């Protein structure tokens, strides 16, 4: 008894039934979930939503499942922090941080998409889930998959940092480290997905999986008191999150929850992997693939699947795109931490530093309300800060030694 009417090719518009498929047989365009908004409008009201448990499933009619939620019942509804200290630092009137650093269970927004993908995988009758990942997705599939009782195959590039590998292994998935880069891992996974009846969350389940990102958008609206912000800044890897946050806003308009929607959507990237922001700045529609070279590894997709769609959203809404150096990324992480007490991973540093740049350029109006999307926890990319923080004061265990430090600090 869901509210999904089917799948539809984003390019040629051809329609498909709800199946674990992801690409149009005719034009190779990506498939997207289509909903019956008229039916949803009757059920999904502010009042009904407010009565429900505070998880991402409170918007379930706008998620692509037929029955009841089965995975990630405690995921989502992360805090929206009014960031007054950071606002002051950046010279803007009103700033909010959407804080997925405390996402349940694995501290990144991937917990949203995986909750939806695995619920759908259950509905499709899969007993095995899988993914190609460089970190956050591996953690989330391993964890959510364990709780939900799936067999799990997680594919990573063999060069991944040992700490990220341990943080997957603890959940005891079948972890396969492939001697190749992320693109090669992905290619191998597509082959396996063709041969085995497994739910690869970011391949054959991708149309459903990606819808989970909308919940970040829904929550922003609700947590702002059922209002859309003037500006939202979203980090881009594949570009999917940005398009889905915007889709969420539009859907709330469509079903009457939002009366007005004039949000400008901004794309944030690291200069070392900036195919989307580059296209936006050059005013072109073609995404030119790049070879990633940045510390923001969770954003390092050189050939972003949704890059074109992301640029269109930015254009349509009057937003912009920018990118920042690795040094600015580190400064962004530290700025957020010391002003708001939030420790974000490198992707969060990208978003903060890009927001700063956009404000300085006047692209984001200082008198408007801006939301920045922080997608993962800093403990996952701690190595990026080594040797780049303030100093430690080393002392002997006595008061005189400490007072030497105090003197030094006061000067």
Verify binding: residue 286, a copy of itself, rule CB under 8 A: no
Q: Which residues of 257-274 are buried (b: 16+ CB within 10 A; e: fewer)?
A: bbeeeebbbbbbbbbbbb
Residue 12 or 379: the one with the smaller Cβ distance to a copy of itself is 379
Residues 354 and 329: their CA atoms lie apart, in Å, by 9
φ/ψ of residue 154, rounded to 5? -120, 125
Residue 214 or 380: the one with the smaller Cβ distance to a copy of itself is 380
In the list 214, 334, 356, 357, the residue contacting a copy of itself (rule: CB under 8 A) is 334
Residue 65 or 374: the one with the smaller Cβ distance to a copy of itself is 374
Verify binding: residue 102, a copy of itself, rule CB under 8 A: yes
Residues 25 and 44: their CA atoms lie apart, in Å, by 34
In the list 38, 54, 259, 288, the residue contacting a copy of itself (rule: CB under 8 A) is 54
Residue 251 or 340: the one with the smaller Cβ distance to a copy of itself is 340
Q: Interface with a copy of itself by CB under 8 A: which range of 78-86, 271-279, 287-295, 304-312?
A: 78-86
Residues 168 and 136: their CA atoms lie apart, in Å, by 9
Range list of H helices, 176-274: 182-195, 206-211, 214-223, 240-254
Residue 26 or 196: the one with the smaller Cβ distance to a copy of itself is 196
In the list 158, 256, 316, 361, the residue contacting a copy of itself (rule: CB under 8 A) is 158
Residues 283 and 280: their CA atoms lie apart, in Å, by 5
Q: Read off the tokens for 164.
A: 């990220």
Name residue, tokens 């958008």: 217
In the list 17, 42, 51, 166, the residue contacting a copy of itself (rule: CB under 8 A) is 166
Cα angle value 359/364/367 (rounded, 5°):
95
- CA 71 remoteness from chain centre: 18
Verify binding: residue 398, a copy of itself, rule CB under 8 A: yes
Verify binding: residue 411, a copy of itself, rule CB under 8 A: no
Verify binding: residue 327, a copy of itself, rule CB under 8 A: no
Residue 310, C-beta contacts closer than 8 angstroms, at least 6 positions apart: 236, 239, 240, 242, 243, 267, 276, 304
Verify binding: residue 172, a copy of itself, rule CB under 8 A: yes
Q: Scan residues 371-390 and list those touching a copy of itself (CB under 8 A).
A: 377-380, 382, 385-386, 389-390
Verify binding: residue 47, a copy of itself, rule CB under 8 A: no
Residue 76 or 207: the one with the smaller Cβ distance to a copy of itself is 76
Verify binding: residue 224, a copy of itself, rule CB under 8 A: no
Q: Scan residues 342-371 and list those touching a copy of itself (CB under 8 A).
A: 342-343
Verify binding: residue 396, a copy of itself, rule CB under 8 A: yes
């Amino acid at each position: 008894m869901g509210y999904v009417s089917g799948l539809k090719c984003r390019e040629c518009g051809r329609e498909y039934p709800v199946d674990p498929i992801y690409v149009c047989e005719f034009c190779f365009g990506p498939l997207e979930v289509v909903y019956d908004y008229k039916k949803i409008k009757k059920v999904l009201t502010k009042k009904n939503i407010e009565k429900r448990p505070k998880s991402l499933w409170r918007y379930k009619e706008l998620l692509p499942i037929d029955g009841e939620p089965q995975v990630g019942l405690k995921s989502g509804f992360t805090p929206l922090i009014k960031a007054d200290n950071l606002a002051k630092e950046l010279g803007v009137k009103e700033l909010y941080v959407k804080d997925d650093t405390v996402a349940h269970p694995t501290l990144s927004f991937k917990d949203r998409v995986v909750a939806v993908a695995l619920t759908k995988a259950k509905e499709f009758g899969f007993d095995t889930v899988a993914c190609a990942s460089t970190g956050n997705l591996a953690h989330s599939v391993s964890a959510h998959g364990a709780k939900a009782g799936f067999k799990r195959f997680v594919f990573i590039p063999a060069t991944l940092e040992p700490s990220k590998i341990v943080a997957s292994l603890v959940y005891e998935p079948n972890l396969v480290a492939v001697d190749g880069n992320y693109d090669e891992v992905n290619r191998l996974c597509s082959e396996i997905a063709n041969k085995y009846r497994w739910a690869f969350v970011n391949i054959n389940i991708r149309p459903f999986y990606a819808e989970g990102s909308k919940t970040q958008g829904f929550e922003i609206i609700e947590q702002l008191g059922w209002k859309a912000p003037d500006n939202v800044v979203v980090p881009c890897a594949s570009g999917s999150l940005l398009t889905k946050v915007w889709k969420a806003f539009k859907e709330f308009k469509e079903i009457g929850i939002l009366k007005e929607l004039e949000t400008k959507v901004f794309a944030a990237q690291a200069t070392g992997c900036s195919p989307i922001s580059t296209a936006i700045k050059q005013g072109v529609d073609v995404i030119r693939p790049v070879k990633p070279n940045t510390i923001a590894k969770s954003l390092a997709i050189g050939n972003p699947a949704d890059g074109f769609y992301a640029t269109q959203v930015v254009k349509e809404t009057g937003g912009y795109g920018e990118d920042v150096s690795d040094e600015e990324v580190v400064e962004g992480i530290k700025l957020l931490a010391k002003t708001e007490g939030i420790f974000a991973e490198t992707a969060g540093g990208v978003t903060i530093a890009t927001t700063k740049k956009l404000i300085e350029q006047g692209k984001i109006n200082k008198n408007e309300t801006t939301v920045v999307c922080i997608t993962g926890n800093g403990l996952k990319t701690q190595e990026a800060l080594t040797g780049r923080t303030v100093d430690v004061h080393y002392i002997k265990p006595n008061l005189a030694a400490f007072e030497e430090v105090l003197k030094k600090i006061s000067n």
